[in-house]
Structure 1
Amino acid sequence: MSELLPATGWPPGFTAAPVLLLVDDEPNVLSALRRLLRPSGYQLHLAGSGAEALELLSREPVDLIVSDMRMPGLSGAELLAQARARWPDTLRILLTGYAEVSSAIAAINEGGIYRYIAKPWNDEELLKTLQQALELRGLQAEKQRLEALTAHQNAALRELNATLEDKVRIRTEELRIANQEISLAMEKLRKTFFTSVQVLSNLIEMRAPALAGHSRRVADVARKLAEKMGLGADLQHEILLAGLLHDIGKIGYPDALFGTPLTRMNSDELGIARKHPINGAAALMSMPDMRGVADIIRSHHERWDGQGFPDALTGEKIPLGARILALANDYDGAQLGTLSAKRMTPEEAKQWVIEGRKFRYDPDVVDAFGQLIGKLPRQTIIERRLSGAELEAGMVLSRDLHSPDGMLLLATEYVLDDLLIRQIRDFEESFGRRLVVCVRV
């Protein structure tokens, strides 16, 4: 038998009326307990025997069992011991007479009984005991709820962490691939830009085959000087580009002027020659990233003593890159015969440059040049001389490759690929003769 009494306030931890099972073989005792507990709002189940109580427990969840000790058949102690084994979360209270105290103590130990209450009971003490028992049951239920919630949240957190780790790993890989693609694109752009610079540099050599390789050699010496002097990577790069493009202002020269040394030019020709640094710088001024290069080109014919052109700058008023480029340009030009009618040997050109210390060139640049020239490696290069038909991808040029009329096609150290090899063969077909391509062994 069970009944649900009106609620007057449940113990903490309960979201519904606590469920009590009252067990006694005496109906008058059950009636007395029901009357006492009616105002508390508990849901009550009544059982007249231990067997009936076990049958009810198997069907209904119960928070607290209050059982008499002495009952026919299954005693209260035996009932509560079985309840402990089968429904350990249910609290257990034993009603016992004074003569049964020793048996009650044994039942407490065996059945894990929360408390025993002596008969006849004091109503106030009984209600207080039940309230305390239900508060403990509520705390246990809340503890179980929180443990279950914590376990659920921990599982969700582990799943979230695993998901986040997967997302981070995937995103990291995506970023790595994106950065790799950007790096490849930047490298391709850099190579394309540098190739464009070399094409511009080659335009002069198409006009003057005798100057073949001049710009590249000047750029190489100038860059090595900048490195020797400990200049930053950005300035070294600007000096390299300026070396490749320093004669771009000569694109409008009359044909006859290309082969005329400065010492043999008349006043009109000198006037044209003195403008080529200005014209070269002007050609680059529309490119913001090339303005430093343009400044170097404009001033690469200035002299340390102020006797240069176009602005007659002196000493450190001349950009450092231009001071370096001036020396590298004259060193190669002296060997080509563009400075005087006599072409100098490398040793003569070196000595001529060193003698220009303090009036033509920056003394610090000359000193670095003297150290550099003495340390330039002289390597014996083993090479093969091949035609276009014999070339293979991956071969490295050991010398500059020129067209039959002296135009620079590819510079030393260029690595050949299938596209370049096809272009070389196309050139051979266009020229009607085989090119001699020198490659490293």
Structure 2
Amino acid sequence: MSPKSLVFSLPVFSIIFARILYAINWFNISSIFYLILVDFRQDVSMLGLITSSFLIGIGLFQIPAGILSAKYDPKLIIVGGTLLLSTASLLTGFVSEIYQMVILRFLVGVGMAFFFGPSVIIISNYLGKGSEGLGVGMLNSAHSLGGIIGVFGWIILADLLGWRTGLVFGGILGLFSGVLLSYYLFKRQYLNDTNMGKKFLSSMRRITELFNGSIHYKFNHRISVPNSQISLKNLKKIMTNKSILLVALSLLGVQIGWMLVSTFIIVYLKIDLGLTSALAGLIGMTTLIVNVLFAPVFGKIYDHFVRKKCVKLDVISLVSCGLIIAVCISLFSLAPLHLLIPLIVIIGIFASGGFVIPYTLARRIVVENMGMPYYDVLAISYVNGISLLGAFWAPILFSFMVKGFGYSIAWLTGGLLIAVFIIPIIRLRL
């Protein structure tokens, strides 16, 4: 089957659908945070703390997720991660103290860590060799689509039913996506069971046995996982590789920019510029709308670069994307509202390339340059973990700078930080 036909296969659909719900549970809390602030009588610094706890969770557990995916079946890891993040999201709607929300957002991050790395490898293997960029682009596009729904849809939902109901509803939808994901990824095993209850319990038993350490699976779809234990020597080799670290730093720069815009732009537009919540949400989600359209485009462009062996063009493209994002965020400090919207759109366009290229570069380095194909999930998870864990302090710094110096200085500082982390990728040699 061609990649085009496989795009519409049910396993790929289930991954994309779960990714959309993953993103809804990522973004919905930032879009309704102004309501949470009122309920708990907090200021914007609390948004920085909650966001940072989430980033620590998603960043800290990327490497464990990568190791488990290399040792066991990545399909089990992705299902387990989806169920964990969805359960924690659901419980967030019942918190009575702000520290409970901090802990639950940390657990949401942990669940998301167990989703992302395996999802990149699974979808790439379903689409086939030479479609890695397309696979990452589809995942990022789904992430942005879910973000759009989470930002704008949950503002309306929270205004109608309250922010707690919105978070509970997001968690329930996430659990449904986890069950759907489990069914379609394990469909061959399920066909041997005639009872639907047995099918579901069979999947849950596999996940439980996995985390008890009593099973060792092979991923039976276009990828083989070694039966031997993960080598600490190889782990160290990947984690200290200069090329991998340069890619991770560049992704960290893009991640900081994306995190600052997605977390603070709605609060900034509503509180500082005085827009209505609906209009602030609509403007805030323009980055996501643009990213839905351009992420697969950048993925196809990257695949073209790889096929044509355009070694330097991918690095040049990544640097260009990062610096354009940095300049646009810096200009937030000067731009009036009518210029702010085009800047947000530009960030959405070039963030598409800023996210697609590093993940596919990391996989190429570990598979082609280092000759370690079994560690591709780990390489992607490691790069993603550095970018997310490394960015945990950015929302805290930004929120305190807003309190001390105002949004103008905070946006300018954010732009400079992005440039600092992006520029070193120029030294990358493939």
Higher strand share: 1
TM-score normalized with structure 2 length: 0.29
Q: Which has the higher contact order (CA 8 A, sep 6+)?
A: 2
